[in-house]
Amino acid sequence: MMTEANALGHYLKDRRARLDPASFGVPLTRRRTPGLRREEVAQRANVSATWYTWLEQGRGGAPSADVLDRIARAMMLTNVEREHLFLLGLGRPPEARYQAPEGITPRLQRVLDTLDHSPAFIRTATWDVIAWNKAAAAVMTDYSALPNGQRNVLRMMFHDSRVRAAQPNWESVARYVVASFRTDVARAGAARDVQSLVDELLATSPEFTAMWRDNDVRGPGDGLKVLNHPVAGPLSLEFSGFAVDGRPDLTMVIYNPATPADAEKIRTLLMP
C-alpha cells in the first residue's frame, strides 16, 4: 500500500522525468535518465540535494508549504500540478495565488454566442467582465462601449447611473454584489489587486462604505433578477453562475428569460 510520503515522492519523480533540460537552460550532456537530475531540481528550488532525494524516496519528512512552492516553481508546474503537489504533501490545496487573466479562448466566446436570447458574460474573480454576448450587450450593458478598466461590476453598481436605474431594488442587489465580490476576492487571494478599486469606492460612495464595513459574505448561487430596461420595460431573468473548467479564476453568468414574454422582449431588442 502506497503511503502519502511515497505518493509524493512518486509524483515528484514522475514530474522531474518529464522535464526537458533544454527548456531550463541545462547543458545537453549525456544523461542516463530523461528529465532533470535531482540535484538540478534541488538547486533551482534552493533546497539540499540530499533532502530532495529523500523526499523522492518517501523518507524526507513532511515538507513545508514554502518548500513545496519552491519545488513547484523550480519544476515550472502548472496550477493544477502545483495544487496536486500540495494535496499529496500537505493534504490541502495551496493558498490562493491570483493571476489576472489575459482573456478567453475563441471556443469559450463561441459558447457565449450560441446563447442567442440569454444574456451571458464571463467575469474574473475581481468581477471584471472580460467577455459577453449580444444579448448581454442589449439587456445588461454594452461593455464594448466601456474602457477596459470600467467594465467592473462593482464599480458600475455604484458609479453607473444607468445600471442603478435598471435595478428596482438597487440596495438589495448592491449588497449581494458587495458580499459576493468580497467572497470571490478572498477565495482567489486577490485582495491586493482590488485594493485601489475598494479605496476608490470608499472615497466616493458612502453607500459602498457602509456595505463594505458590514463584512457580509455570500457564496455563489442562482436566483431571479428583475430589470427595468429603458426600451423593453420590466424583464425577469433567472440567473446561474458556472465555473469555467480549467479556469478557476473565471465565472460564466447566464441569465435566462423567466417567461415567454421576457424571451420575446429580448428577441425584439436583438432585431436589426
Per residue in 217-243, pLDDT (tens digit) is 987 778 999 999 999 999 999 999 998
Instruction: Give helix 79-90 / helix 65-74 axis angle, nearest 10°.
Output: 150
- Predicted confidence band of residue 28 (pLDDT cuts 50, 70, 90): low
Q: Identify whether residues 66 and 162 lie together within a single domain.
A: no
Indicate if the pLDDT at residue 116 is higher than 50: yes
Rounded to an integer, what distance in angstroms lies between the CA atom of residue 198 and that of residue 192? 10
84/111 same-domain check:
no
Strand partners, 128: 152
Residue 100 lies in a domain: no
Q: What is the CATH number of the domain that holds 60?
A: 1.10.260.40
Given a cut of 50, is residue 2 above it in pLDDT? no
Last residue of a domain, one of 49, 65, 90: 90
pTM of the model: 0.72
- Domain identity same for 202 and 120: yes
- Domain containing residue 249: 106-270
The residue out of 90, 124, 139 marking a domain boundary is 90
Q: At what angle do helices 191-204 and 170-188 cross, to 10 degrees?
A: 150
67 and 160 both lie in a single domain = no
Is residue 158 assigned to a domain?
yes
Same domain, 140 and 83: no
- For residue range 79-89, what is the model confidence (pLDDT) as tens digits? 788 889 999 99
| 125 and 243 together in one domain | yes
Total structural domains in the chain?
2
Q: Is residue 97, in this structure, part of any structural domain at all?
A: no
Tell me whether residue 142 is in a domain.
Answer: yes
Report if residue 224 sits inside a domain: yes
- Picking from 56, 90, 124, the residue at the C-terminal end of a domain is 90
Same domain, 66 and 113: no
Q: Return left, alpha or beta for 61; rule: phi > 0 is left, psi -120 to 50 is alpha, else beta.
A: left
Which strands form 120-124's sheet, in the order they lie side by side?
A: 129-132, 120-124, 247-257, 233-244, 222-229
148 and 211 part of one domain: yes
Same domain as 193, residue 126: yes
Asked if the structure places residue 95 within a domain, the reply is no
